[in-house]
Structure 1
Amino acid sequence: MKLLRGKAEASLDDRLAALAEAADLADGRLDQAVVDRARDVVARAGVRRSLSVDHTAVALAGATGSGKSSIFNALAGRELAEVGATRPTTSKAQAALWGLEGSGPLLDWLEVPVRHVVGEGSGLILLDLPDHDSIVLSHRLEVDRLVGVVDLLVWVLDPQKYADAAVHERYLKALGRHRDNMLVVLNQIDRLPERAIRRCLDDLRGLLAVDGLEGVPVLGVSARTGQGLPDLRTALDRKVSRRTAWAARLAADVGTAADALSETAGGGTAFTPVPQTALVRPLSRALSEAAAVPLVVRAVAKAHRHRAVAATGWPVTRWVRGLRPDPLRRLHLSRKGRTSLPAPTAVQLTMVDTAVRDVGAAVSEGLPEPWASAVRHAARSRSDELGDALDRAVATASLDASKKPRWWRAIGTLQWMVTGTMAAGALWLLVLFALGYLLLPKPPTPTVGQAPWPTVLLVGGAVAGVVIALLSRVVAWIGGRRRARKVAKTLRAAIDRVGEELVIVPACAEQGRYVRFVDRVASAG
């Protein structure tokens, strides 16, 4: 069955499903009583549609002395309800049935124990309710219960109290969605002059329009004389014969529940979500400072130079470099356990907290309360995990800094070759010195120009080793900067992922929950 709601055709099933989802999305975020009422509508719809759809439960509701019991008797064609003019006489709802078969489960669900079969076939179940303004609390509660579940409502008013705020404020204004499932009867018109009848009916229609019930049929009747009762019977027969009042009632209940959810959520205003990319940068800066990323980047550059000198320096003095601690190893950056990075300072922690709150404020901008508070809370919900997550991110992302460039091995090999050359020259000179000291004949010594080869090998090897070491330092300094930039980029990406996972994603998920809620409420309404 399809029900039209102005903007698009939507099935009752789809609207109920949308309302159920909207209630689930609002759970814990909006007034729980409103959420529970929406769920009650869904549950009630499931029960009502499983009962007889060939019967229409119509309730006569009114104030003390309005004459609803008299109308009940007149429509039933017999004296079923006790009639009283000034005091409540109906203490428990009773039913007049036009067609008994299949009505039992529906009446059991309505909790109407008193039942009278007065006719055949039409499927009308006419209920006479207690007075809604009764001094007995149980009477008023009975009215409230049945007004909330019957398929069709007939409000019986009288010329003296048709403008009474009790019925307009407590009931009619709250039933603005139910205009298609409502009739209003002005009883006792036999007490009014002919000209006053029309004036009262017009005034009543104006009051109903103020209540949001413009267009609801208003009938003037007299239960005592029978005036207007045929029109009331015809109107009821027309509603009952369609066998759709129950579905229209459920559709109206769904719309009312959706309106309540929307109103509680601040009107369900649609808005443009903030792109996640716009939130990452300021948060990442604060998290990077707290995670000691600048310190790690500087350590990477220094460690690269330190290791380069150790691998490519002059072997004669290289051992001195080994006495100095490795800047990166001191931080204990590894996949297991915590690093030795310094704990964030109070200023850095304040910067992180401010950045997290800024994310919550940016994501919640444009959202109504209390949903905006839920977004801000979601942004801070995993703040306690940030410290460990940042530490792991830095340790994992920095491991590539320990990789040795291939040129270190080549230069290191070259340095040993040069050092070997220098050692060969030194050994050669030492042999020549020993022969001279022992006054033994010296073998001829080749020369390069005027310089003997042993001296060339010794001095040249030493000079070459120092020059290669100095050039290697220049290259290592450049390589350290490049590696630091690469590691900084990797660290920023790791920090960004932490910020997104623990701050931005929860906040945006809550924002998305609201967007979905607005969509589901619109579909339900």
Structure 2
Amino acid sequence: MTAPSDAAEAVFGGGRNDVAKRLDGLTQAVEASRGRIDDEILAPAEMLSGRAAERLKLSGDHTIVALAGATGSGKSSLFNALTDLELAGVGVRRPTTSWALACAWGPDGAQGLLEWMGIPARHQVSRMSMLDHSAEDTKLDGLVLLDLPDHDSTEVSHHLEMDRLIKYADLLVWVLDPQKYADAAIHDRYIKPMASYADVTLVVLNQIDRIPFEQRERALTDVKRILADEGLPDVTVIGVSATRGDGIEDLKREMASRIRAKSAARSRLASDISAAAGVIAQVGGTSQTPGLAPADRDALDDALVECAGVPQIVDAVSLSTRRRAAQRTGWPVARWLGRLRKDPLKELGLGDDLSMSALARVAVPETGNVQRANAELAIRDAAEKASVGLERPWRDAIRDASNPPGDDIIDALDRAIHETSLGVARPAVWWRIVQVLQLLLFVAMVGGLGWLAAQGIQPLASFDLPDLGKVGGVPMAAVVAGGSLVAGLVLAALSSLASRIGGRRKARRADDQLRDAIDRVTAERVIAPIQAELDSYAAYRSGILAALG
């Protein structure tokens, strides 16, 4: 199928002409806003795109001009004057139903176009069936002229038919008569509401022969004043007399110039695009949005880190590291005495299980309503910041995308934490080395004390001990025992300091890893959907601005 913009480009000139670009923009805006803006608001724009494609595909060489007016305005007489035919004389009579009458100029008529517009063949006439002796600047080749039902008819079907066909017209010619040219019925219902279509509107003051010659200019000026008050200051107003022929050539000349330039069809399509885009823009807006700033992203990450219990997990990692280091590197006597105290890890429910799941369970025992509510609040706050300045449909779309129903962000965060390997259970190599040294020092201290004890009971016993000598007057056994004790305590103190540093380092590493895991979940479950909506809005905005022109 031919794209509407491609058809517009082919009909209205080479290159990406303005109408084609605007039609492209409208189509882009509709596609980008689908599901965000109500379908009833988008429907006219979608229908316009489809209608434009069909219209231009059927015939881009014809200009549809519709004559509209009230009963007694002389539309039918003007229709006959423009066609140079007495249609009743060639077998076509004015229908008494709600159908319009059509006359097409051109070698092949415009049967396909007229059938697409819903005009039966018995209400169609081809102007090229007769010789045309019009001057070059008044030739109407390519014209499809419609005589619409009277807008003030008592038949409802006539109103419906007129309203339907007006949508197809490339040029609207409102036919007024001297007595009712200010009639509110046509001005309030049609002309004023269609002020945005001024570029494709002509006003004809028919039956001007009924106005004294010296008053005609004043009557035309008065019509222009009324139109200006209604928002159509630049509409061309032509005075004619369909029965006498006054002004008919001027009207033909105006219509012919638009037909040759294809300006009527182009202007009508441009006006339709503006009208449809204006309705959408009122609902969807056109403001620019900064999106989610890095500071807002960081604030969201911090909030979800808190909700996921990462600080508590990090504290548990630090505590478990120090405790396990003390159990491995402390002075053996102190370690044995420490077993008499309550084990803080067992109080936390860890014991020997130092897996990520156990740490997470200890840090965040159960996901509560407050935790979930805080996470949802943080996400909603981020969505609101990302949609600052946008209209309601886009704000709602961004909010819904950031936290869709049934998608529990807390469960996703918990899974990410449980799947993160922190290496907490692996003991440091230096712990084993210090543990061996502490055991050796303890053995040395016990050996020294045992030697001293043995020396003390030697006089009472029947055995001899070799003399180990003295150091500064102190027995060697006492030096070994005391030195081992002091060395063990100093090593334990240094190990405690090192374990604190190691615990903090491991806690920082755990914090970085967990934050990375939270960040990935946030990026996938919150940021990406928000950005997708912002990208859709950007496509909508560029399209709607192009459509508005």
Partner of 1:204: 223
Q: Is the 8 A contact 1:93 1:112 kept in 2?
A: yes
- Alignment partner, residue 181 of structure 1: 200
Match of residue 6 from structure 1: none
Closer, same or farther in 2 for the Cα pair 1:522/1:136, shift >3 Å? same
Q: Secondary structure at the match of 1:399?
A: coil
Query: 2 CA distance for matches of 1:21 and 1:333?
Result: 52
User: Is 1:15 matched up with 2:22?
Assistant: yes
Matched AA of 2:118: E
Shift of 1:435: 8.2
Q: Against the structure 1 CA distance between its residues 166 and 345, is the aligned structure 2 distance closer, same or farther, given a 3 Å change threshold?
A: same
**Compared CA separation, residues 335 and 519, structure 1 to 2 (3 A):** farther
Corresponding residue number in structure 1 for 2:184: 165
1:95–1:127 contact (8 Å) kept in structure 2? yes
TM-score after normalising by structure 1: 0.85
Does the aligned pair in 2 maintain the 1:163–1:204 contact within 8 Å?
Answer: yes
Q: Check the 8 A contact 2:292/2:385 in 1, yes or no.
A: no
Which of residues 323, 335, 338 is equivalent to 1:306? 323
Give the one of 301, 304, 307 matched to 1:287: 304
Amino acid at match of 2:383: G
Mapped partners of 1:387, 1:473: distance in 2: 37
Q: 1:336 to 1:428 in 2, by over 3 A?
A: closer
Structure 1 residue aligned with 2:124: 115
> 1:382, 1:503 within 8 Å by CA — same for their partners in 2?
no
2:151 aligned with 1:128 = no
Identify the residue that residue 362 of structure 1 maps to in structure 2.
385
In structure 2, relative to structure 1, the CA distance for the partners of 1:321 and 1:78 (3 Å cut) is farther
CA deviation after TM superposition for structure 1 residue 258, in Å: 1.4
Greater CA deviation, 255-264 or 340-349?
340-349
Residue 521 of structure 1 and its aligned partner are, at CA, apart by 0.9
Task: Tell me the SS of whatever aligns to 2:238.
Answer: strand
1-side partners of 2:209 and 2:402: how far apart? 68
1 CA distance for matches of 2:306 and 2:114? 70
Q: 1:30 to 1:158 in 2, by over 3 A?
A: farther
Residue number among 501, 510, 514 corresponding to 2:533 in the alignment:
510
Letter matched to residue 252 of structure 1: S
Equivalent AA in structure 2 for residue 213 of structure 1:
L
Q: Which residue does the alignment assign to 2:40? A: 33
**Which letter maps to 1:308?**
A
Question: 1 CA distance for matches of 2:516 and 2:188?
Answer: 60
Spell out, residue by residue over 1:360-385, the C-alpha distance to the aligned partner (whole angstroms, 9 max, x if none).
Answer: 33233322334333334444436842
Q: Matched residue of 1:119: which SS?
A: helix
- 1:78 is aligned to 85
Task: From 464, 468, 471, give the equivalent of 2:487.
Answer: 464
* TM-superposed deviation, 1:38: 0.9
User: Comparing 352-361 with 289-298, which one deviates more in the overlay?
Assistant: 352-361
Quick check: 1:75–1:233 contact (8 Å CA) kept in 2? yes
The aligned residue for residue 411 of structure 1 is 434
Residue aligning to 2:356: 334
What's the secondary structure of 2:55's corresponding residue? helix
Aligned partners of 2:109 and 2:128 also within 8 Å: no
Which of 139-148 and 172-181 deviates more? 172-181
Counterpart in the other structure of 1:245: 264
CA distance in 1, matches of 2:478, 2:521: 62
Q: CA deviation at 1:95?
A: 1.5
1-side partners of 2:361 and 2:208: how far apart?
Answer: 90
Counterpart code for 1:524: A
Are residues 382 and 180 of structure 1, via their aligned partners in 2, closer, same or farther at CA, if it must alter by over 3 Å?
Answer: same
CA distance in 2, matches of 1:169, 1:405: 88
The 1:485–1:228 alpha-carbon spacing in structure 2 relative to 1, beyond 3 Å, is: same
CA contact (8 A) 1:375 1:510 kept: yes
Contact kept? 2:66, 2:173, Cα under 8 Å:
yes
- Using the TM superposition, name which of 118-127 and 424-433 deviates more: 424-433
1:52–1:102 contact (8 Å) kept in structure 2: no
Q: Is 1:53–2:60 an aligned residue pair?
A: yes
The 3-state SS of whatever aligns with 1:153 is: strand
The SS at the match of 1:223 is coil
Q: RMSD value over aligned CA atoms?
A: 3.5
Distance 1:437 1:197, change over 3 A: farther
Q: 1-side partners of 2:359 and 2:104: how far apart?
A: 78
Aligned equivalents of 2:259, 2:250: Cα separation in 1:
14
- Which residue among 389, 392, 399 is the counterpart of 2:415? 392
- Residue by residue, what CA displacement relative to the aligned partner does 1:287-340 show, whole Å, maximum 9, x if unpaired? 233222221122121011012112212345546768833659479753799845
- Counterpart AA for 1:165: A
Separation in structure 1 between the aligned mates of residue 112 and residue 359 of structure 2, nearest angstrom: 66
Residue of structure 1 in register with 2:276 after alignment: 257
Judged with a 3 Å threshold, the aligned counterparts in structure 2 of structure 1 residues 231 and 337 are, in CA distance, closer, same or farther, namely farther
Distance in 2 (CA, whole Å) between partners of 1:226 and 1:275 is 68
Mean CA deviation greater in 13-22 or 478-487: 478-487
Q: Which residue of 1 aligns with 2:244?
A: 225
Counterparts of 2:361 and 2:538, CA distance in 1: 41
CA contact 1:335–1:392 (8 Å) conserved in 2 = no
By how many angstroms is 1:387 displaced? Answer: 0.6
Task: Judge which range, 325-334 or 217-226, deviates more.
Answer: 325-334
Contact 1:274-1:363 within 8 A present in 2 as well: yes
> Equivalent residue of 2:232, what SS?
coil
Cα distance 1:166–1:363, how it changes in 2: closer, same or farther (>3 A)?
Answer: farther
Instruction: Give me the whole-angstrom Cα distance separating, in 2, the residues matched to 1:95 and 1:124.
Output: 10
- Please report how far the alpha carbon of residue 122 of structure 1 lies from its aligned counterpart in structure 2 after TM superposition: 1.4
| Alpha-carbon distance, 1:213 to partner | 2.6
Q: Aligned to 2:172, what secondary structure does the other structure show?
A: strand
Q: Distance in 1 between matches of 2:66 and 2:308?
A: 69
**Aligned counterpart, 2:137:** none
Task: State the secondary structure of the residue aligned to 1:305.
Answer: helix
Q: Is the 2:104–2:127 contact (alpha carbons within 8 Å) kept by the matching residues of 1?
A: yes
- Give the superposition deviation at 1:153: 1.9
Which sits farther off after the overlay, 487-496 or 309-318?
487-496
The CA distance in 1 between the partners of 2:509 and 2:314, in whole Å, is 9
Does residue 293 of structure 2 align to residue 276 of structure 1? yes
- Counterpart CA distance in 1 for 2:405 and 2:355 is 24
Residues 488 and 174 of structure 1, relative CA distance in 2, 3 Å threshold: same
Residues 25 and 279 (structure 1 numbering): CA distance in 2 closer, same or farther, change over 3 Å?
same
Is 1:480 the counterpart of 2:503 in the alignment? yes
User: Match of 1:334, as an amino acid?
Assistant: M
Deviations 1:216-257 (A, max 9, x none): 211111222222212112222222233453333222222221
Q: Separation in 1 of the partners of 2:272 and 2:529?
A: 33
CA contact (8 A) 2:65 2:170 kept: yes
3-state DSSP of counterpart to 1:14: helix
Report the CA distance between 1:47 and its aligned residue. 1.2
Cα shift at 1:386: 1.5
Q: 1:482 to 1:227 in 2, by over 3 A?
A: same
